[in-house]
A and B are shown apart, each in its own frame.
Chain A
Amino acid sequence: MNLLLSYIYYLFLLLLVISAVFSIASKNLLCSVIFMSLFNLFMVIIFLLLQAPDVAMAEAVVGMGFTTALFIITISKTKEEEK
């Protein structure tokens, strides 16, 4: 890759680390799941920069569509009742 693309690649790797840290360290469960979806989005962009279109399409559909929906349904079913 030329110089500009390699700088963009390192920027997206840094954003990946930041979103993983925020996903583990936040107190609200819904915030953690949204940052998890952002983690999958940055992985899709990195796969496109590494010239892999099949893997990017699979990760986009599975990570950001299916897993996030299942997480949100689980969180809504395991909320404790308000006293």
Chain B
Amino acid sequence: MKYYCVLLIAVLSLVLFLSLQDIPVAQDLMPASSHYVNSGVRDTGATNLVNAILFDYRGFDTLGEATVIFASAAAFKMLFSHKRIFSFRYGLSPIVKTGMGIYSPFIFIFGIYVIMAGHISPGGGFQGGVIIASLSILLTLVYGLWYKVRRTVFSPAISSNIESIGGFLFLGIGLTGILTGNYFLSNLDAGFFAGTPGHMFSAGSIPILNIASGLKVAAGLSIIFYSIAGGE
């Protein structure tokens, strides 16, 4: 059985190599990429080109990706709906609890910084959102599950509300483009504030879309972790 698998994999990899070996090593940029590089800062006002492509030129694909995270979190909540075995009942030793109490505000502020400065430096909505979700994993491991349930900011009950707020913010910015006479998810044509490139408050609606996407990703991944760890 295993020898048939090795033979099949050898044949498939040979076919893959023969069909991909003639892709030429380019020296200049492709036509679409050179248009994005030459007129990116003038069209959108953001200096981070990957963020400008993700939230302005191809904003509709980012909406689809946010829908995938929403569907995954909803399916998880359906699978694990009963209160089951508690596995993180007691936390760790008091040394770790004291150290974590000093560390966790700095991690939270770093996550918010990565979300807010997405259009200037490397970062954006996704990276900052997953940093905040990993902060909720860390607090559950260190303090135990009973402590987490009683808090108000990272509790499981408020996470679904935050995810809905993020989704509606994204759709609301998109519909503003239609209400002013342009296309869905338009940036500078719809009248958003575009300052000088390189400052914090610039680039039209890209910071607002970053915040909406960061809220959605953080809340969605938090719900996935709380369902699988035995919360409510």
Which A residues have a C-beta under 8 Å from some C-beta of B?
Answer: 53-54, 57-58, 61-62, 65-66, 69-70, 73-74, 76-77
A26 to chain B, nearest CB (A): 17
Instruction: Determine the chain A residues whose CB is within 8 A of the CB of B131 once the complex forms.
Output: 61
B residues 107-154 touching A (CB-CB < 8 Å): 114, 122-124, 126-127, 130-131, 133-134, 137
Contact between chains at B50 and A65 (CB < 8 Å): no
Cβ–Cβ contact A76 & B228, under 8 A:
no
Say yes or no: A54 contacts B124, CB within 8 Å: yes
B113 to chain A, nearest CB (A): 13
Q: How far is the CA of A26 from the CA of B228 in the complex (A)?
A: 26
In the complex, the answer to whether B87 meets A57 with C-beta atoms within 8 Å is no
Instruction: Assess whether A73 is in contact with B122, with CB atoms less than 8 Å apart.
Output: no
The answer for the CA separation of A57 and B137 in the assembled complex, in Å, is: 18
Interfacial chain B residues near A73, Cβ < 8 Å: 87, 228-229
Cβ–Cβ < 8 Å partners of B224 in chain A: 70
Contact flag A69-B122 (CB < 8 Å), given A58-B127, A61-B127, A77-B87 = no
Contact of A61 with B130 in the complex, beta carbons under 8 Å: yes
Complexed CA–CA distance, A70 and B133 (Å) = 13
Contact mask for chain B residues 74-97; partner A; CB cutoff 8 A; 1 contact, 0 none:
000000000001010000000000
Q: Is B221 an interface residue (CB 8 A)?
A: yes
Q: Across the interface, which residues of B come within 8 angstroms of A65, CB to CB?
A: 130, 134, 137
How far, in Å, is A65 (CB) from chain B's closest CB? 4
Using CB atoms and an 8 Å cutoff, list the residues of chain B in contact with chain A. Answer: 48, 50-51, 85, 87, 114, 122-124, 126-127, 130-131, 133-134, 137, 221, 224-225, 228-229
Cβ of A54 and Cβ of B123 under 8 Å apart?
yes
Are B228 and A61 within 8 A (Cβ)? no
A14 to B50, CA, bound (A): 29
Q: Tell me the nearest residue of chain A to B229, going by C-beta.
A: A73
Residues of B with C-beta under 8 A to A74: 228
CA distance in complex: A66, B135 (Å): 10
* Cα of A52 to Cα of B200 in the assembled complex, Å: 22
CB-based contact B127/A69 at 8 Å: no
Residue pair B50, A66 in contact (C-beta under 8 Å): no
* Residue in chain B with minimal CB distance to A74: B228
How far apart sit A31 and B37, CA to CA, in the bound complex (Å)? 44
- C-alpha gap A77/B87 in the complex (Å): 9
CB nearest to B48 among chain A residues: A54
CA distance A54 to B225 in the complex (A): 24
A63 to chain B minimum Cβ distance, whole angstroms, is 10
Complex A-B: 16 CB contacts under 8 Å:
A54-B48, A54-B122, A54-B124, A54-B127, A57-B114, A57-B123, A58-B126, A58-B127, A61-B127, A65-B130, A65-B134, A65-B137, A70-B228, A73-B87, A73-B229, A77-B87
**Residue in chain B with minimal CB distance to A69:** B137
Measured CB to CB, the closest approach of chain A to B146, in angstroms, equals: 18
Nearest residue in A to B217 (C-beta to C-beta)?
A: A62
